[in-house]
Chains A and B, each alone.
Chain A
């Protein structure tokens, strides 16, 4: 593998993404929403709606029993812990997934649509080098944004919850596993899904529509967590991460077998 060629393709792809308003808008809005706006609003919600404390207590009483057992009696501190570790935390996994998904769509289907794929195929990059470069161009920013966003999320949660918690209570071990182990796995899943879709479709629009279907496992995880069906702990987080890595790995292995110049050129 020629690392210089790979790095050149990655740099080029990232530069192209950075300069696309259409791509950058969702890449900025989603992390800001999930990692800054949501934690801030949800922390302050009971205090902002002071008269509605009983409503939140009622909402808490309606949570599944396993969740209630885990968090105990309803207090403002309980609310903060439930919201940040139970309800919002899994949403963080949408960020690496979506970032990888969107960049991969641009790198594969978008490049074909703009007719800029053909000159790449004429370069000395081997099929494997092209494949790896395209994967890294989507995976690296997805993971970096996830890590950066997670750090921002942790800071915001602790700062906004300080008046109630009076200590640094976040992140917990489950969330650390989620960020360091599951987030890269979901990024890999997002780009693997998009890769498979892009090999079959010609346009960016088709690719994003079909590739978005791979978000369903993330949605299932979020719903399962909120409904108390999963109740992520560190071991479950590791296990789910292994499963997602395995699925992403299988999809990528399937994709690399089909990622060949001789196949790609037929779609130009």
Chain B
């Protein structure tokens, strides 16, 4: 059952079109990434889904309800980690979490243990009674995430969640996201510029450009769709490089470039021709030490999409 349904949503800020006829669904328990440059429409989408903005046209449903007419019900089940840690410097970490737990109507008797657990989970237990103003950027980001989780949301929006986090905290956040989706059945919507992060965490991604949906699918689907040909590293006896390069160059559509350390890098290879290349090299008596195909990444697909600027869904 879809948790979020956007159907032909259009939104403008004055004369600027922020979302152009955006339609997509996010399924329950899915980690879904919204990718796009600044101004692509990611934050606008999050705000519309949470009832902070009214779309000019189109319909939005979250948990089967309209965020505009049933906003309180929708927001009770969602949480948003904003891009910058929007915390009040004059409150302590514990006061921050308590205030938001109460605003989300968390039962009183569960608030204190919940806060303790979150402070421990995010490594800020020792600073729980300190004012947030003295926290580092990373600590603030961790506290923001703890705040977002204080009411156990069913749907979590993370806007650039690892900005300002050190590698250890980033890894912890990735684990939290995976755990939320896999073991707790929560839905996570990730808005990010970090394509490696999106590829590692997401079940599906939507690439936005200029408010329009450029592509939608799993990271692997998008990568293969945008880069159907592989690049292969071939390690052979350096003395036979010239022979190998000549042989590979004679094959249609292949581009050969010599790489460092005696490794040839060959591009433009359709996946089904990889075995053929190996057998041809061996057939010409060229000793093959290693053949390593590089899978296209979401990063390749993303830049191809943004360059094309066209819609592939």
Contacts and interface: CB of A to CB of B under 8 A. Distances in A.
Interface stretch (B68-76, B246-254, B288-296): B68-76
Interface in A104-138: 114-116, 118-126
Q: Chain A: interface residue count, which band?
A: 20 to 34
Given A114-B88, A126-B72, A261-B51, A119 B147 contact: yes
Interface string A1-21: 010110111011001100110
B75 A124 contact: yes
B95 A15 contact: yes
Given A12-B99, A124-B71, A126-B71, 8 more contacts: A5-B105, A9-B99, A19-B90, A121-B52, A122-B75, A123-B75, A124-B75, A124-B76
Contact of A119 (B54, B89, B100): B100
Contact of A124 (B53, B95, B103, B131): B103
A8 B95 CA distance: 11
Contact of B103 (A19, A123, A262, A266): A123
12 contacts: A8-B99, A12-B91, A12-B99, A19-B90, A114-B89, A115-B84, A119-B147, A122-B79, A124-B76, A262-B53, A262-B54, A266-B13
Contacts of A9: 99, 103
B116 interface: no
Contact of A2 (B54, B78, B80, B105): B105
A116 B86 contact: yes
B90 A5 contact: no
A58 B103 CA distance: 61
A261 B103 contact: no
Nearest to B46: A122
Contacts of B73: 124
Nearest to B82: A118
A116 B103 CA distance: 14
Nearest to B67: A261
Nearest to A19: B90
Contacts, number: 76
Given A4-B105, A124-B105, A116 B87 contact: yes
Interface of A: 2, 4-5, 7-9, 11-12, 15-16, 19-20, 114-116, 118-126, 261-262, 265-266
Interface of B: 13, 47, 50-54, 71-73, 75-76, 78-80, 82, 84, 86-91, 95, 99-100, 102-105, 131, 147
Which secondary structure dominates chain A's binding surface?
helix
A122 B47 CA distance: 9
A16 B100 contact: no
Contact of A122 (B80, B90, B102): B80
Given A19-B90, A116-B87, A4 B102 contact: yes
Contacts of A121: 52
A116 B53 contact: no
A85 B118 CA distance: 57
Given A119-B147, A265-B52, A125 B103 contact: yes
Contacts of B102: 4-5, 7-8, 11
A20 B90 contact: yes
B52 to A, nearest CB: 5
A16 B53 contact: no
Contact of A118 (B51, B79, B86, B131): B86
- Which 7 pairs across A and B sit closest by C-beta, in order of nearness? A8-B102, A19-B90, A124-B76, A12-B99, A123-B103, A124-B72, A265-B52
